[in-house]
């Protein structure tokens, strides 16, 4: 006999961590749309619309621009396993946790990994890339555009030019940047770029938007061995999404409904307006945090608008503050990872979550919580409001 279960009714949270972000009601509504088959003519039209909208956000003309089934980590796996073979040399910039993860994934592809290590909280210098590219026959050069573990926005143009000069493919992680800051795939010469749906696109987690330039597709088509992952083999997936609709796997239909709707919202807002909104709210948050006496972690020259990292004041317990924010304000912020675990907070203002009300909520809640923890502070919301007046 069944013991019975309560109705599924999780708390309503304001999600200002490193992801997921809050989702627009229209996107949630799209997920409740009745299913059709994954080869139904109406669904094929939705697939086409989704690809077209993704090309707009990636700022690319690439034919193969699709949402891979799986989260952003599946996008990373797909990016590497499709173009990297055993023995290939892969050059990877590492200045945070997700650069480290790239190395792990490339090693699992049995690549020879050459690391360019940088300081956490700072952007990578192109000069070591130039030296490594001169000294090695590098098939793929990979960097993280928006390092989620640190809040650093990595400039890409100089590194991209180096990859073209030395005949290397350029692979970019845009998980925390796509839809929140400029990702100019074609203009910047990016060959493979992947992201996730749950951050600046403000869609639930479960899909990994990814785009392949013809240079990357050529590398895929001329492999000496099969792609190590059957599920993520784009030589087959391409035929379902961008070819003759040949069945590969059952698409996550409701998630694609949701992504299509989130991309429609982005298209309606316009990319430039969306990027400006993220910058505006980020500037106000940073002004408020500094007014509270908190020190920002990432290098001022390369701070990511969609995610702000801040040092935790001495004597303040990370988990106690985040727990109090969650219990008393239904507000989620993120803790640090790797060497900065317990030392920094990460506050996300991504997609639908990036708005003035959330900025003021975060600052007011931090003000109250820190004061109760014995850290005297005030003036955060006033500083943010003054920043908004400047804009």
Say what the pLDDT of residue 2 is: 61
From the list 167, 166, 142, 163, the residue with the least C-alpha distance to 154 is 142
Inform me whether the pLDDT recorded for 317 exceeds 90: yes
Position 259 scores a pLDDT of 98
Per-residue pLDDT, 244:
86
Note the CATH number of domain 270-390: 3.90.1150.10
Q: Write out the E strands in 80-197.
A: 89-94, 112-117, 140-144, 146-147, 152-153, 169-173, 192-194
> Could you give the CA distance from residue 175 to residue 352 in angstroms, rounded to a whole number?
16
What is the SS3 assignment for 171? Answer: strand
Give the pLDDT of residue 182: 98
Beta strands 169-173 and 192-194, pairing class: parallel
Spell out the residues 6+ positions from residue 151 whose beta carbon is closer than 8 angstroms to its own: 121, 297, 298, 303, 304, 307, 308, 309, 346
Burial of 210 (0-12, 13-18, 19+ CB in 10 A): buried
pLDDT value at position 107?
A: 98
Is CATH 3.40.718.10 what the domain over 25-268 is classified as, yes or no? Answer: no
Question: Which pLDDT tens digit goes with each residue over 218-272?
Answer: 999 999 999 999 999 999 999 999 878 899 999 999 999 999 999 999 999 999 9
Q: What is the mean pLDDT of residues 287-306?
A: 98
Q: Say whether pLDDT at 1 is over 60.
A: no
What secondary structure letter does DSSP report for 318? H
Q: Show me where the domains of the chain are located.
A: 25-268, 270-390
Give the separation between CA 53 and CA 50, rounded to whole angstroms: 5
pLDDT tens column, 32-43: 999 999 999 999
pLDDT 10s digits, 161-198: 999 999 999 999 999 999 999 999 999 999 999 999 99
Which is it for strands 207-212 and 64-69: parallel, antiparallel or unpaired? antiparallel
pLDDT-derived band of residue 4, with 50, 70 and 90 as boundaries?
Answer: confident
Q: What is the pTM assigned to this prediction? A: 0.96
Rounded to whole angstroms, the Cα distance separating 347 from 333 reads 5
Question: For residue range 199-214, what is the model confidence (pLDDT) as tens digits?
Answer: 999 999 999 999 999 9
Average pLDDT, rounded, for the chain = 96
Predicted confidence (pLDDT) at residue 348 exceeds the cutoff of 70? yes
CA of 164: how far to CAs of 53, 157, 158, 159, 206, in Å? 28, 11, 10, 9, 33
């Amino acid at each position: 006999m069944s013991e019975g279960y309560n109705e599924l009714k999780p708390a309503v949270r304001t999600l200002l961590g490193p992801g997921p972000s809050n989702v627009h009601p229209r996107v949630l509504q799209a997920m409740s749309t009745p299913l059709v088959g994954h080869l139904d003519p109406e669904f094929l039209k939705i697939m086409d619309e989704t690809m077209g909208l993704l090309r707009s956000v990636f700022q690319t003309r690439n034919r193969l621009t699709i949402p891979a089934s799986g989260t952003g980590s599946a996008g990373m796996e797909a990016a590497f396993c499709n173009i990297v073979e055993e023995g290939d040399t892969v050059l990877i910039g590492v200045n945070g946790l997700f650069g480290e993860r790239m190395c792990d994934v490339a090693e699992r592809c049995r690549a020879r990994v050459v690391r360019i290590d940088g300081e956490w909280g700072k952007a990578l210098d192109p000069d070591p890339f130039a030296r490594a590219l001169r000294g090695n026959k590098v098939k793929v050069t990979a960097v993280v555009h928006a390092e989620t573990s640190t809040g650093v926005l990595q400039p890409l143009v100089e590194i991209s030019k180096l990859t073209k000069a030395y005949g290397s493919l350029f692979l970019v992680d845009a998980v925390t940047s796509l839809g929140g800051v400029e990702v100019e795939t074609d203009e910047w010469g990016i060959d493979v770029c992947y992201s996730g749906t749950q951050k600046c696109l403000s869609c639930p987690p479960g899909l990994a938007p990814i785009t392949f330039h013809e240079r990357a597709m050529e590398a895929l088509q001329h492999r000496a061995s099969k792609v190590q992952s059957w599920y993520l083999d784009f030589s087959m997936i391409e035929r379902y999404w961008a070819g003759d609709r040949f069945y590969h796997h059952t698409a996550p239909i409701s998630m694609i409904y949701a992504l299509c709707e989130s991309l429609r919202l982005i298209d309606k807002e316009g990319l430039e307006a969306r990027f400006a909104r993220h910058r505006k709210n980020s500037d106000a948050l940073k002004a408020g945090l500094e007014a509270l006496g908190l020190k920002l972690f990432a290098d001022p020259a390369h701070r990511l608008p969609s995610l702000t990292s801040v040092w935790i004041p001495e004597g303040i317990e990370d988990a106690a503050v985040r727990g109090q924010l969650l219990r008393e304000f239904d507000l989620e912020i993120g803790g640090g990872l790797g060497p900065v675990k317990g030392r920094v907070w990460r506050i996300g203002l991504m997609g639908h979550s990036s708005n003035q009300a959330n900025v003021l909520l975060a600052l007011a809640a931090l003000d109250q919580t820190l004061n109760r923890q014995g850290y005297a502070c005030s003036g955060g919301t006033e500083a943010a409001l003054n920043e908004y007046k400047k804009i």
